[in-house]
Amino acid sequence: MDVFPVNWDSVPEVMNKEQFFRICHISKSTALHLLKSGKVPCEWSGKKTRCYKIRKEDVKAYLEERAIFPELYSAPKGWYGTHYVARLSKELPEDTLRQMHGYYEKLLRKYPDVVTVKDVVALTGYTLTTVHNWCSRGSLKAFQKGLKFCIPKIFLVDFFCSLTFRSITRKSLWHIQTLNEFSRKMKHRK
């Protein structure tokens, strides 16, 4: 995604949706999705026009996080039309990926070396069927013991850092919280 310089001195402290999408170089539809979904905090007045008030700090935070995690701000399938598919950058920078790996390893340090599907469900908030499908399709590497999938923790961390996991459109609350926390930690390291 291209990064456009913004003269923040000329930007008002509180802006409307039109100013927001022009500053961020996004479409009106994308701006509407970001505001309605709460991905960019705003105040809604209830009026029919000029009903959104967005703070300059929230726009700055959005642009910084979008540069690191564009998939976090992609609209759901079908938002723009019948066949919308979010296009994501395939690779994170090597340093970011390494730090993300470390973040998830630290997050999972209290878990055993091999976890079950139920453990992953309890941790992530995704359904049993979803996690089972990840294992069956090979997205989440696991081995079977009887009828149960057993997932080595190192493969779980790899999966959490993968494009497949990061590009889930309807993320669980845990998923959103961990991405936001990781993003904040990345900002503090700069």
- The class level of CATH for 8-73 reads mainly alpha
- Domain ranges for the chain: 8-73, 94-189
Integer Cα distance of 32 and 22 in angstroms = 13
Each residue's pLDDT tens digit, 34-67? 888 778 888 877 677 788 889 999 999 888 888 8
Query: pTM of the full predicted structure?
Result: 0.56
- Residue 88: per-residue pLDDT: 44
Integer Cα distance of 135 and 131 in angstroms = 6
Give the closest residue to 38 by CA, choosing from 181, 176, 178, 186.
Answer: 176
Each residue's pLDDT tens digit, 100-140? 999 999 999 999 999 999 999 999 999 999 999 999 999 99
- Residue 169: per-residue pLDDT: 80
Q: CA angle at residue 72 from 99 to 11, to 5 degrees?
A: 100
